[in-house]
Amino acid sequence: MTEIVETSAALLPGPPAFELDIVDDTPEVVIDLQRVRRNIDRAAATAAEHGVALRPHVKTHKLPPVAALQIEAGAAGIQVAKLGEAEVFAAAGFTDIFVGYPIVGSRKIGRLLELLGTTSSRISVAADAVDVAVPLAEAAARAGVIVPVVIEVDTGLHRLGAQPGRATVELASRLSDLEGIEVTGVFTHEGHVYTQAHSMDEKRAMTHAACAALVETADLVRASGVPLTTVSVGSSGTFRFAVECANISEVRPGTYVFNDLSQLHQGAATPDDLAAFVVATVVGRPEATRAVIDAGSKVLTSDRLLIADPAPTYGAVAGFPGARVSRLSEEHGVLEFPVAADLRIGDRVAIVPNHICPVVNLADSVSVIAEGMLAERWAVAARGRVK
């Protein structure tokens, strides 16, 4: 087991496998389709090898063509972040969609029922509290439908989720008595492993502990008389450990399709697995070791790395070892280089963002590179679907 890498300087993302002038204008999110396919195929093979279903979280890409590649490679279905994303992916023909979010409020419940009435897709949703489930169940019962519900269990992230063990058993029992919904499983997002585990051994152990808490809880729920089929864990950073867990039915990584600086720091990807970049133009060269690019927080987001990060890093500069995006304004990114950089105003650079998911969410479309050529531009169909 290696220790996780603590500085971006050591990760050295090399130059991307395409020419930067291939895109018409900047800042532009560029997808390397060959690497995307490789990432998809590798994760599919890993899941298959371990006998668990793979349900990719498509919030990373928000692109139906990428989800299609994931399904083609054997994914059992997809997860989306919000109901608005489900609407987009159902309209695009995806037949098994899990909304990993509680459907709260009459407007959202109405939209879910409307979606169920107009699609043949199976749409399941999350719930972690009676106050979430009851209004949904009542409305579904009135509409004469049964909504599949997966109970979220909090295995350590302390965001949403019922507590493992007795609390979840009681909740499952209450929910299974309601008309209009059917409890079909339990799920967790073990995102706490990103920040709380500091070595690969700790990451593995903490992921396995999250799996164990979920599996034990599922067993208790079943023993109480509520049958469950889905026992699902998920995050890209823990994917390689989660597949090792016994009695898990499903894993739900998302970022693995593109990867980013955070996944490199998690040890979950190598520089060769980076499949999405932001191509930007140098607009200022105030010093030999400093450059300003036309991509700021409105392109790269202000997301920080989820590791100890004494000097702020908002991205790496592909092909410039040790360089980092040190400061962001809305429209300006300041690059710091360890040595004088051979870059002039008008030159382009490829930035590896800290966190690719919200970066894609800021783009109306992305450029797709296949075999070194600009193949297509894809509209980010589910961009901004936060409702």
Min separation Cβ 295 and a copy of itself, Å: 8
Interface ranges with a copy of itself (CB under 8 A): 24-28, 59, 81-82, 101-102, 104-105, 107-108, 111, 128-129, 131-132, 135, 154, 158-160, 191, 281-286, 292, 294-299, 301-304, 327, 329-332, 334, 344-346, 357-358, 361-364, 384, 386-387
Min separation Cβ 384 and a copy of itself, Å: 6
Q: Where are the beta strands (DSSP E) in 157-247?
A: 181-188, 230-233
Dihedral pair phi/psi, residue 53, rounded to 5°: -75, 145
Min separation Cβ 81 and a copy of itself, Å: 5
Q: Which is nearer to a copy of itself, 181 or 243 (CB)?
A: 181
Strand-pair category, 324-328 with 365-370: unpaired
Q: Which residues pair with 181 in a beta bridge?
A: 147
Alpha-carbon span 218 to 274, nearest angstrom:
36
E strand or H helix that includes residue 373: strand 373-379
Q: Which is nearer to a copy of itself, 134 or 205 (CB)?
A: 134
Min separation Cβ 270 and a copy of itself, Å: 24
Quickly list DSSP for 57-97.
BGGGT--HHHHHHHHHTT---EEESSHHHHHHHHHTT-SEE
Min separation Cβ 191 and a copy of itself, Å: 7
Q: Which is nearer to a copy of itself, 52 or 317 (CB)?
A: 317
Q: Which is nearer to a copy of itself, 137 or 295 (CB)?
A: 295
Min separation Cβ 26 and a copy of itself, Å: 7
Task: From residue 283, give the alpha-carbon distance in Å to each of 332, 333, 340, 366.
Answer: 9, 10, 17, 22
Q: Which is nearer to a copy of itself, 184 or 297 (CB)?
A: 297
**Alpha carbon 163 to its chain's center:** 23
Q: Which is nearer to a copy of itself, 167 or 220 (CB)?
A: 167
Q: Which is nearer to a copy of itself, 4 or 362 (CB)?
A: 362
Q: In what order do the strands lie in the sheet with 250-251?
A: 53-54, 250-251, 230-233, 181-188, 147-152, 122-127, 96-102, 78-80
DSSP state of 218: H
Min separation Cβ 357 and a copy of itself, Å: 6
Q: Which is nearer to a copy of itself, 52 or 276 (CB)?
A: 276
Alpha-carbon span 203 to 5, nearest angstrom:
13
Residues 73/375, Cβ–Cβ less than 8 Å: no
Task: From residue 113, give the alpha-carbon distance in Å to each of 142, 215, 282, 285.
Answer: 10, 31, 49, 55
Q: Which residue's entry shows tokens 């063509």?
A: 65
Min separation Cβ 361 and a copy of itself, Å: 6
